[in-house]
Amino acid sequence: MTSFFQNLGMSYEAAWFTATIAGILLIALPLMLAVALIIYAERKLWAAFALRRGPNVVGPFGILQSFADGLKVFLQETIIPSASNRGLFLIAPIITFTVALMAWAVIPFADGVVLSNINVGLLYILAISSLGVYGVVIAGWASNSKYPFYSAMRAAAQMISYEVSIGFILICVVLWAGTFNVGGIVEGQRSHIFGFINAYAFNPLLFPIAVMFLISSMAETARAPFDLTEAESELVAGYQTEYSSMAFALFWLGEYANVLLMCALNVILFWGGYLPPVDWAPLYAVPGIIWFFAKILLMFFIFAWVKATVPRYRYDQLMRLGWKVFLPISLFWVFLVSGYLMFTGHFA
């Protein structure tokens, strides 16, 4: 893209800057549109699970409902509690929303279609996803209210608990792929199983951690049945209790952008990313970005399905699953995978 702007007569520096801004907008704007549509899709799915209609009034089939909700919160008054820390109270939702968008910089949408193809892309995603907890903690503390503060403490403990096991799972994938580059991990899955299946998930050694990563990604994004940070029966609405208007909407957008990111990571790490399901020439006629989005939608269906059907965990069950089940299993799996790769001469 830089060369395109250079051909228009720009200097290299100006062309690079313009291309970078254009790339950011090409990711951020469709992502925000996707969040609006994915909220609508999830509400329709929940309605179907409960034998209800869901949104069906605003626009054809109710598809404009999310945009109507967005306009409503945009026109509402932003109420700031008198006892809150005003600066931190306002910056917390901005942090959550911004961090949710930043991780998409290294996500490959197709072969070569990535904003920043850095060699340590997976480390970048792990670091950025860890920053998301700061927005939640700051929101809970700055609100100067009991329930948001309790929720922020829960969020911090929950995210740390599952970040550890996610880190060990990522080590297993990196050992197998031999690279931290996200595109390299996708390419490593080409013809991985039986010489024609493009996925690590069908590998008997990697399938268990694929399931663990899916469950951990639900906990990491505080999705049901792990939504203890905003358990309405205990904490009103959690860390966002005192928020209204666009500040509340930024938390909403950030949450769903993170959910889509975790769906994308599941697809990239274990289900072949932008590659078709099988290594068969006619399937490559479909653009990689279509396969990528189709797999993300399938993964999001699983997220919505779990949220609609699985009852919420107790907090002690949540912590037990993270520290006493996933942590030891993921740590053992690092030794198992590395031992297998060493004895089969993978590191030679």
> What's the rounded Cα separation, in Å, for the pair 327 and 341?
21
Unique residue bearing structure tokens 């949540």: 318
Predicted confidence at residue 232, as pLDDT, reads 57
Quote the pTM value. 0.92
> What's the rounded Cα separation, in Å, for the pair 332 and 319?
19
CB 258 within 8 A of CB 221: yes
Digit-coded pLDDT (tens) for 327-347: 999 999 999 999 999 998 776
Predicted confidence at residue 345, as pLDDT, reads 76
What is the DSSP secondary-structure string of 272-299?
-TTS-SB--GGGGGS-HHHHHHHHHHHH
> What's the rounded Cα separation, in Å, for the pair 158 and 134?
13
Residue 20 — very low, low, confident or very high, per pLDDT cuts 50/70/90? confident
pLDDT at 91 > cutoff 60 = yes
pLDDT at 96 > cutoff 80 = yes
Region of poorest pLDDT, from 78-82, 121-125, 277-281: 78-82
- Peptide bond before 108: cis, by omega within 30 degrees of 0? no
Unique residue bearing structure tokens 């006493």: 324
pLDDT at 286 > cutoff 90 = yes
Digit-coded pLDDT (tens) for 209-236: 999 999 999 988 888 788 877 765 566 6
Predicted confidence at residue 243, as pLDDT, reads 86
Predicted confidence at residue 159, as pLDDT, reads 84
Digit-coded pLDDT (tens) for 225-266: 888 777 655 666 778 888 888 888 888 888 899 999 999 999
Identify the residue with better confidence: 283 or 232.
Answer: 283
Predicted confidence at residue 234, as pLDDT, reads 64
Predicted confidence at residue 233, as pLDDT, reads 59
Average pLDDT, the chain: 88
Predicted confidence at residue 223, as pLDDT, reads 82
Residue 201 — very low, low, confident or very high, per pLDDT cuts 50/70/90? very high
Identify the residue with better confidence: 45 or 194.
Answer: 45
What is the DSSP secondary-structure string of 189-214?
TTT-BTTTB--STTSTTTHHHHHHHH
